[in-house]
Amino acid sequence: MHHVGAIILFAMFAIFALWLFRLTAVEEQPSDDKGRRNKTYMVCGIVIVVCMAWAGINDFNGKPIFRPESFALIAFAVSWLVKGYALRTIMHKVRSLY
């Protein structure tokens, strides 16, 4: 019972990556870039779900859950940075320096 907060948090991370980040407005036609980003979100979401299961198995067996939680957090961070166009913003800044 002491992991309920973590379960809710990581479940929300999975929902963001698997569903919310992949939404497209009804009247919009998804671009090729959106398709690639959606694949990234899907992979990240699946990693989060797998890591949640891994953490549950480890907890049940009395093993540490640090690694699966860390990998799930990294997967969410990647999906968040992709959603926020972080790489595009960084590359634009770097190009403007030259």
46-74 in b/e form (b: 16+ CB < 10 A) is ebbbebbebbeebeeeeeebeebbebbee
Name the token pair of 21: 């980040």
* Nearest to 17, CA basis, from 66, 68, 77: 77
% of the chain with per-residue pLDDT over 90: 66
- Write down the pTM of the prediction: 0.85
CB 79 within 8 A of CB 41: yes
Domain count along the chain? 1
Render pLDDT for 16-47 as a digit per residue (tens, 0 to 9). Answer: 999 999 998 778 787 888 999 999 999 999 99
Expressed as residue numbers, the domain containing 25 is 4-96
How far apart CA 85 and CA 27 sit, in angstroms, is 22
Question: What are 45-80's pLDDT values in tens digits?
Answer: 999 999 999 999 999 999 999 999 999 999 999 999
- Predicted confidence at residue 2, as pLDDT, reads 65
